[in-house]
């Protein structure tokens, strides 16, 4: 992934997010491309959308799941890379808010 963990991820314009039980469907209304997310993918999406940076989402997920830090970092890099490749998210500068300040 070419994106810093200090970047912020936001949904790209024209993205429809629908939660079905604990899984989600993402649809790019411009390209009609869609992907389904399992429960873990859905949690990663929500963490990335709520966090001021990829790093903050990583830290939140690290607290929630029993996973090796290096494995989680790889999983987030791959997930964000796929989302960017499919035009589902945009990468921008991180917000300066911290989770402690919310």
> Looking at the domain assignment, is residue 81 inside a domain?
yes
Domain count, the chain: 1
- The boundaries of the domain holding residue 46 are 7-11+39-91
Q: What percent of the chain has pLDDT over 90?
A: 74
- Average confidence (pLDDT) over 2-6: 80
Q: Which of 40, 38, 100, 80 is nearest to 64 (CA)?
A: 40
> Looking at the domain assignment, is residue 68 inside a domain?
yes
> Looking at the domain assignment, is residue 71 inside a domain?
yes
Block residue for tokens 């989680």: 72
Residue 60 contacts residue 47 (beta carbons within 8 Å): yes
pTM: 0.85
> Looking at the domain assignment, is residue 64 inside a domain?
yes
List of residues 6+ apart from 61 with CB closer than 8 A: 43, 44, 47, 67, 72, 76
> Looking at the domain assignment, is residue 72 inside a domain?
yes
Residue 26 contacts residue 75 (beta carbons within 8 Å): no
Query: Which comes out higher in pLDDT, residue 101 or 42?
Result: 42
The pLDDT tens digits of the residues spanning 21-59 come to: 889 999 999 888 889 999 999 999 999 999 999 999 999
């Amino acid at each position: 992934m070419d994106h810093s963990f200090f970047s912020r991820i936001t949904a790209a314009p024209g993205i429809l997010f629908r939660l079905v039980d604990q899984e989600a469907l993402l649809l790019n209304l411009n390209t009609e491309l869609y992907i389904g997310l399992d429960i873990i993918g859905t949690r990663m999406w929500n963490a990335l959308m709520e966090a001021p940076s990829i790093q903050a989402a990583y830290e939140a997920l690290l607290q929630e799941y029993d996973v090796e830090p290096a494995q989680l970092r790889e999983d987030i890099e791959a997930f964000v890379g796929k989302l960017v490749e499919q035009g589902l998210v945009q990468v921008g500068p991180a917000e300066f808010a911290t989770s402690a300040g919310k």
